[in-house]
């Protein structure tokens, strides 16, 4: 049986705090070792598997109504991920850990297993320090959000000891 770690992240509790654009925030996931003693057995592993299992974003997100999907990217390298970048070019490496479909004419966006189920992606061990999370448009450019567009997400993480 594998150990699955749950991480609840609130954009207002990022290193930058609640008074900044939540589309580009940093979280100290390395501090999880203090509260999750089972993590110590995975400290030296290079990779882990991350799944965004839930996400909700601000009630006043009308500035998102022109987009169909939000890409959630993490600055942890993915050895098994690729994406398209521009027309006529090949694939480039991907940092996408989740997708958030945006329903038409909605002013509160959320994703869970009932609306869309993201899968686990292999990334470098996220518990080795600071992790940056960016919210991007489906074209790959960073969203321009208001401070009222705060979000919360639940990440599920497990390790494969062969990594």
pLDDT digits (tens, 9 = 90+) for 94-136: 999 998 887 655 555 555 545 668 899 999 999 999 999 999 9
For 21-54, b/e burial (b = at least 16 CB within 10 A) is: bbbbbebebeeeeeebeebeebeebebbbbbbbb
Strand order in the sheet with 69-74: 24-28, 130-137, 69-74, 96-101
Q: Give the model confidence (pLDDT) of 1-29 as tens digits.
A: 688 999 999 999 999 988 888 999 999 99
From the number of C-beta atoms within 10 Å of its C-beta (0-12, 13-18, 19+), residue 8 rates as exposed
Read off the pLDDT of residues 25-68 as tens digits, 9 standing for 90 and up: 999 999 998 889 999 999 999 999 999 998 888 755 456 666 77
HSE-CB at 46 with a 13 A cutoff on CA atoms is 5
């Amino acid at each position: 049986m594998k150990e699955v770690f749950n991480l609840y992240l609130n954009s207002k509790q990022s290193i930058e705090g609640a008074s900044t654009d939540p589309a580009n925030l940093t979280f100290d996931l390395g501090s999880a070792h203090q509260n999750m003693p089972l993590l110590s057995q995975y400290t030296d592993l290079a990779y882990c598997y991350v799944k965004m299992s839930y996400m909700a974003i601000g009630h006043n997100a009308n500035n998102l109504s022109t987009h169909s999907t939000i890409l959630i990217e993490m600055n942890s390298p993915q050895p098994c991920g690729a994406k398209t970048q521009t027309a006529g070019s090949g694939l480039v490496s991907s940092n996408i850990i989740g997708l958030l479909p945006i329903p038409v004419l909605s002013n509160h966006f959320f994703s869970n297993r009932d609306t869309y189920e993201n899968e686990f992606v292999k990334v470098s061990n996220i518990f080795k320090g600071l992790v940056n999370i960016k919210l991007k448009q489906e074209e790959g450019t960073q969203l321009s959000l208001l401070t009222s567009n705060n979000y919360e997400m639940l990440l599920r993480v497990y390790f494969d000891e062969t990594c």
